[in-house]
Amino acid sequence: MDYFSIITTLVVLAALFGYINVRFLHLPNTIGLMLITIVFTLAVLGLSYFDTTLLDAERYIITTIDFKSVLLDVMLSFLLFAGALHTNFEQLKVQRWPVFVFATLGVLVSTFLVGTVMFYVLQMLGLEVAYIYCLLFGALISPTDPIAVLGILKQAGVPKKLETKIVGESLFNDGVGVVVFLTIFQIATLGGDTVSPMDIVVLFGQEVIGGIALGLLLGWVTYRFLKSIDDYDIEVIMTLATVMAGTAIAHKFHVSAPLAMVTAGLMVGMDTVRHSAMSEVTESYVDKFWELIDILLNTILFVLIGMEMLVLSFEGNYIVAGLLAIPIILACRYTSLLLPIKFFEKKLDFVPNTNLIMTWGGLRGGISIALALGLTEVMHRDLFLVITYVVVVFSILIQGLTVGKLVNRLKKD
């Protein structure tokens, strides 16, 4: 099976599962697609006792696709640009400081809290895992996933001010989370004695500051090009070129492509830029094009996440560790947000129960699975992959389905 056939199969499955969801289940696409794919995969596993044809085909697709590279190096840039393009910049500008603190300090605090608690929990389960590898898990599971968050919050009825905080945090904290993960990964690979604190600062600064700087440059260049012509076909292609060329440049110079794409998307999506650089026709075409890209990649992504269960080693103590990780991660997220929210809530008139809603609405998704797939066997890849998968499935299916009900209940209280 060649790559065209694999992509065709994924698109057909995404379309079929999407149809079933819209026609019968009426769930948010993110939740519906993952649920249907998991049920489909379980059915294929059951059918394999009589005929292994479908199971072999599904396993071939999953083992052929490098999920980590496909998501982190390709899909993520498109999805983050699309998400940032449709984010309310004026609201985000008002909430910029809490969003910045949530996406940086919040991720770092959560990384160390989750890593530390999981280190002791795994020891209690008889799983001897080095502390540095537990920190790696903390880094990959702490960022909330904008791809999951954006799709679900639209239907959850979350107040706009709070939605801006959650979406803004999710857009930036995955980029920061990836950088934190790569930094700890490098320390774990080379050994703590060979990596100096200055090396960590330089790597972190290069990825974060370099990514934001590249995004600002890309956004400004794109704006100048868009302003100089009035042809919606070419202008749409220019936005596509911005993402593709920007991602390639980011990889070439080892800066954060996710942060670059978020920054560029926010710049191009600003109301002032839109009104001065695009006609109404161009604006409509650009929005519709990126909405379509967003929906298409999202459907394929969550079909892939559902199918990833075929490559997992479902050992009993691994599943127990995953189930224990769920309340630990939620508690650590709540704790990591506590201080920033207390500091900003009076100045920016926070919605009541902000911490509770942000904790339950901070969903995990494909980014965490992609990072877990990047672990080596020495780093206990199979263990952390199962734990991550259990957390992500719970996050999407349970938290995603109930966050709207939680918001409505808190409104009544």
Q: What residues have CB less than 8 Å from 221, skipping those under 6 apart?
A: 242
- CA-CA distance, 257 to 246, in Å (whole number)? 7
- Give the SS3 label for residue 228: helix
Helix pair 107-124, 316-344: axis angle to 10 deg: 150
pTM confidence score: 0.90
| CB-CB neighbours of 314 under 10 Å | 12
Name 405's Cβ contacts closer than 8 Å, sequence gap at least 6: none
Rounded distance, CA 328 to CA 118, Å?
Answer: 8
* CA atoms of 136 and 181, how far apart (whole Å): 6
Q: Does residue 36 contact residue 17 with C-beta atoms inside 8 Å?
A: yes
Question: Among candidates 310, 299, 303, which has minimal Cα distance to 37?
Answer: 303
| Tokens, residue 302 | 């969550």
CA distances from 11 to 86, 201, 266, 304, 339 (A): 24, 42, 29, 11, 44
- Could you give phi then psi for residue 311, rounded to 5 degrees? -100, 5
pLDDT digits (tens, 9 = 90+) for 246-299: 999 999 998 999 999 999 999 999 988 888 999 999 999 999 999 899 888 888
CA distance 356 to 193: 40
Q: What are the per-10-residue average pLDDT scores of the chain (413 residues)?
A: 86 94 90 91 91 89 87 89 85 86 93 97 95 95 80 70 84 87 87 70 85 96 95 96 97 93 93 89 94 88 88 89 97 94 82 89 89 91 95 93 85 69
Structural contact between residues 162 and 203, judged by C-beta atoms closer than 8 angstroms: no
Query: 381-394 and 366-373 are packed helices; what angle lies between their axes, rounded to 10 degrees?
Result: 170
Secondary element (H or E) of residue 64: helix 53-64
Ordered by where they begin, the domains of the chain are 3-64 (no CATH), 67-412 (1.20.1530.20)
Distance (Å, rounded) from C-alpha 296 to C-alpha 84? 17
Q: Kindly state the DSSP code that residue 413 receives in the 8-state scheme.
A: -
Using one digit for the tens of pLDDT, what is the confidence trace for 88-105? 777 788 888 899 999 999
Of residues 138, 162, 174, the one with CA closest to residue 356: 162
pLDDT of residue 158: 73
